[in-house]
Amino acid sequence: MLRALWIKEWTQLRSLRWVGFGLGILFPPFLVTVAEAARRGWIPLASMSGYSVRDLFLNALPGLATALWGLLALMMASQAFAADRSAGTESFVLERPVSRSKIWLARLLAGGASTLVLVLAHLAVYLALIQIVAGPSGGEWSVAGETVLRAALELNVPVGKAIMAYSVGDAWTNLFQPFWAIPLLGITGIQARDMFGYCITMLFALLPFLAIALTVIPY
């Protein structure tokens, strides 16, 4: 019964998920548009002489995305609990032989899962944009290297260990966007959906192992 309730709540949040995904996709061009308007002097209170698209994506985008994800989490939770009431079906659901705790749990799970899906989808798009702007791994390091080294010095972490953690994280996130597997798909004749589930499973399974290894193993 919990699964059926979860599917119902998940389906009701479909429209909101698409809206949230669209808002996240609009953030990068919005940042570039605002920066260009400020450079041209169209925004008197935020004028700027120049800007870098890479700096916008690396510095401004994470903060805006985090704020958006918090807002989306609140919207998902409120919509999950208010959808039945606004549709006039809440009394019908509560009259069924199902405990209210299961109904509320299904709503929380649907809202949390929807938020997680949006965060992962936005991260995939943002990481792809950063890789496109920064270029291959060498170009990516030229963008993020200074920030990584500065953070290592401020946190009193060995620079080599910080670089290793960055490299591991860069390789780890490739499991979420396995473009590296495109040649393998052509060779083996399978489709991306046949292997994507395994990649996501390994993505979450490796997280605690990599975090512990990078923290505990001495450099």
Q: What are the tens digits of pLDDT across the range 50-98?
A: 777 777 777 788 888 889 899 998 988 887 777 656 555 555 555 555 6
List, for residues 192-216, the tens digit of each pLDDT value.
778 878 888 888 898 889 888 888 8
- What's the CA gap between 93 and 89, in Å, rounded? 6
84, 78 Cβ separation under 8 angstroms: no
Question: Which of the residue ranges 21-35, 122-136, 183-197 has the most confident prediction, judged by mean pLDDT?
Answer: 21-35
Q: Say whether 140 sits in a helix, a strand or coil.
A: helix
- Sorted by where each begins, the domain ranges of the chain are 1-134, 139-219
Measured CA to CA, the distance from residue 183 to residue 192 in angstroms comes to 11
Query: pLDDT tens across 137-187, in order?
Result: 556 676 677 778 888 888 888 888 888 888 888 788 788 776 777 777 778
Question: Considering the chain, what is the average pLDDT of its residues?
Answer: 79
Entry field: residues in the chain:
219
Contact status, residue 13 vs residue 76, Cβ threshold 8 Å: yes
pTM for the whole structure: 0.61
